[in-house]
Amino acid sequence: MQKGESIISIALAAVVFFAVLAIQRRWNPANLTDVASSAEDFILTTAGIRGQVPDIAGYERVKTFRLHRYRAGLYRATPTPFVFAPGRLVIYDPEDQPVFKLETLEGSKEPWTALYDFAGRRGLTVAGSRARPDYDRDLAGEGIPNVIIGQYSGGEHCCTMATVVALGKDAVTSVGRIEGLDGPPFEGLEVRKLTKEASWQCIAHRPYVTTCGSYTDAADVISVYAFAGGRFTDQTARFGDYLKETLRQNLAKWKQEKNRSMGLLQTLAVNFAETGQKDEGKSFFGLNLSQFVPSLQKQNVDPNACLSAAENLMERVPTLGP
39 pLDDT more than 70? no
Cis peptide before 84 (omega within 30 of 0): no
SS3 (DSSP) at 130:
coil
Amino acid at site 52: Q
Distance separating alpha carbons of residues 261 and 267, to the nearest angstrom? 10
Query: In the Cβ-directed half-sphere of 85, how many Cα atoms lie within 13 Å?
Result: 21
* H or E segment to which residue 177 belongs: strand 172-181
| Cβ pair 162, 34 in contact under 8 A | no
> What confidence tens digit (pLDDT) does each residue in 199-208 have?
999 999 999 9
Task: Round to whole Å and give the CA distance between 154 and 133.
Answer: 25
- Model confidence band, residue 22 (pLDDT cutoffs 50, 70, 90): very low
Band (pLDDT 50/70/90 cuts) for residue 52 is: confident
pTM score over 0.85: no
CA angle 219, 122, 193 (to 5 degrees): 85
Contact at 8 Å (CB) between 145 and 173? no
Q: 315: helix, coil or strand?
A: helix
How far is residue 142's CA from residue 228's CA, in Å, rounded to a whole number?
12
Upper half-sphere CA count for residue 199 (Cβ side, 13 Å): 12
Q: Taking residues 200-226, what's their average pLDDT?
A: 95
pLDDT above 80 (res 45): no
Strand residues in 182-274 grouped as ranges (E) = 189-192, 201-208, 219-228, 231-234
User: Cis ω on the peptide bond leading into residue 79 (within 30° of 0)?
Assistant: yes
Tell which phi-psi region holds residue 84, choosing left (phi > 0), alpha (psi between -120 and 50) or beta: beta
Instruction: Using CB atoms within 10 Å of the CB of residue 70, give its burial: 0 to 12 exposed, 13 to 18 middle, 19+ buried.
Output: buried
Round to whole Å and give the CA distance between 18 and 253: 50
In angstroms, what is the C-alpha Rg of the chain?
A: 23
What pLDDT, in 10s, does the model give residues 112-129?
A: 999 999 998 889 888 777
Least confident of 57-71, 74-88, 145-159, 269-283: 145-159
pLDDT tens digits, 291-303: 999 999 999 999 9
